[in-house]
Chain A
Amino acid sequence: MRILVIEDEKKVASFIKKGLEEEHYAVDTAYDGETGLYMSDVNEYDLIVLDLMIPKIDGLEVLKRIRGNKNNVPILILTAKDTVEDIVKGLDSGCDDYLTKPFNFTVFLARIRALLRREKIEKEPFLKIADLTLSPVTHKVTRKGKEVELTSKEYALLEYFMRNPDRVLTRTLISEHVWDYHFDSLTNVIDVYVNYLRKKIDKDFEPKLIHTIRGVGYILSAHRP
């Protein structure tokens, strides 16, 4: 899951990025509204964390322009503005959640999970395909009830697969949602990680879940031969 953090206060952006990366999210940061808007335009994010008082283009304006572009990415406003009018204005301008600074990081993470869940109309707190389960809260992955140990990147990759089951995912899509923008998508890193993942969740189990679509990418499905 790839998240964009638009926040002008560098230290705030930095600890958010660090905390989110430790939760296996890919994180990009933008320090002003203009850059943030540009990045949200050229990249596909699963969620945007947006500060309101940011230079160049004001946060509310960024929000309106993102929505104006018919982009329905979940947006969480994170700001020091805590009056009722500010919150109502923010929510009415099209954000999905509003958190005031200073905030509790655990709550922040839980809200992000809730927003990502809402996006896929999932009400259950864990993802499930056949006998494979993944809990975004505890990061625990099981296959046939047996716990599977994954590295951070493997976990992020699997979460992305499981949030988009039965859908062909190209290497570009995977790189956009699992890696941040420093990633060079021309390398075969994705194939390497998909193979690692296969070894851990598919090798000793039936049916196989990850399938290669030659020349296109991969698909996670329980209904393919």
Chain B
Amino acid sequence: MYWIALKMLFGDRVKFVTLLVGLSFSVLLITQQGSIFCGLMKRTSATIFNTGAPVWVSDARIRSVDDVKPLQDTDLPRVRSVTGVQYALPLLFRITQAQLPSGDSENILLVGVDEQALIGIPQAVRQGNLSRLNQPEAVAVDDSSLEKLGNPGLNSTFEINDKRARITAIVGAKRSFFAYPYVYTTFSRALEYMPRQRKLMSFVLAYPKPGISAERLALQIERETGLGAFTEEEFLWHTIGYYMKNTGIPINFGITIFLGLLVGAAISAQTFYAFVMENMRQFGTFKAIGVGNGTLIRMIFLQSSTVSIMGYGIGVGLLALFASRIPPNGVVAFYTPWQLLAIAFVFIVVISVFASLVAGWRVLRIEPAIVFRG
């Protein structure tokens, strides 16, 4: 009988295609909008990814990586003295402005790293050499937002707060949430670029001794210094959480995703329901000739799950096609975690079960005597 159920499904081509289109479009909408949302959220933590430190130490009240609350200079040796710290390095991170040779000005993310270790700069060097950062006026820029700096080459110059900066390296970094270019230099030179303030150190990057986990070290630092300490993953979710709570991004995307769910569910469930209703006489005939209710329900579930899984496959396929057309690290933020695909699959299963239950309930309620009505 299950084979008959599939032939009934595939045989009604108009309804079958309508069901497939509805489900595929719904899955595409959910996963595509979800991927852009995840991509944007991931970009809020681009600085954390680009820096790559296991433990971030900051003011305990910090809300996100962009919400810099500067530390005192004395905090660096305090962190270094914590049990379990192998070494700790200062990091300066500020949004400031660059004056371009064209006369335009552009916001940049200035990152100052320890001059000896140069830790905190992405290691994917596209052009030039990071070792030249110790030369006067030397900076490295990231390649994801070069156009904002006028597509400069090596040895091009621009100014940061009226002080000249010369590009000695171009590195590959993840694009920031605001698409501001990252400008990397040594910590001491970054201090020169910034107006003089009492506190300038943004973070301390701490590295654990062998055998000590990042989680344990973060707890140890918090306990011994009273500062905030986060593992890379904790800081990432802390930052994402801040943007989720304090921006309209989740709501805006949520509305679109919800509409996708609603449209998909409505189209699919309604079309499937109509499909079953149109076949009610056939189901009545099956019932009359002795097909049990359990078999009928399983036939309906097989039909709905088959079309749902096919719709899911096509939707994800279209998503992959869409994703393949997006340049990596380009303007469009796009990231598809497996959890998003799992959520879309759960949605499809829910739709499938829901449609089966509604349609199945009607089939169970039909009297087989319906078959004698003309």
Instruction: Decide whether A and B are members of one complex.
Output: no
Query: Which residues of A pack against B, CB within 8 Å?
Result: none
Query: Which residues of B pack against A, CB within 8 Å?
Result: none
